[in-house]
Amino acid sequence: MVEKIYKIIDESGIHARPATLLVNTVTPFSSDVILEYKGKQVNLKSILGVMSLGIPQEEIIKIIAQGDDAEQVLANIDKMMKTEGLGV
């Protein structure tokens, strides 16, 4: 299991477009990927789950990956977060 904490820097937080980017980034992988925010956890492969959290700018999230390709999943999320200006 690997995990990483991000601070959301996108002005609109995690709205429809960033949520879709996150889901599309992790879907091809076999690992289970969880997004945690304020004690709530959702499957990061579920667009509705991610959107249900309503994560605004300046908030802290944790992404947890568990499985054979967990390290690669987090590396891809990290790259996407920086490229899209979503989180640091």
Read off the CATH number of the domain in which 38 is found.
Answer: 3.30.1340.10
The pTM assigned to this predicted structure is 0.95
Q: Give the per-residue pLDDT at 82.
A: 96
Which residue range(s) make up the domain with 43?
2-84
Arithmetic mean of pLDDT, 79-83 = 97
Neighbour count for residue 7 (Cβ, 10 Å) = 12
Q: Give the per-residue pLDDT at 88.
A: 96
User: Could you tell me the end-to-end alpha-carbon distance of the chain, in angstroms, rounded to an integer?
Assistant: 21
Catalytic residue among 15, 51, 72, 76: 15
For the question of residue 15 being annotated catalytic, the response is yes
Structural domain tally of the chain? Answer: 1
| Residues 6 or more apart in contact with residue 79 via CB below 8 angstroms | none
| 18-51 pLDDT per residue, tens | 999 999 999 999 999 999 999 999 999 999 999 9
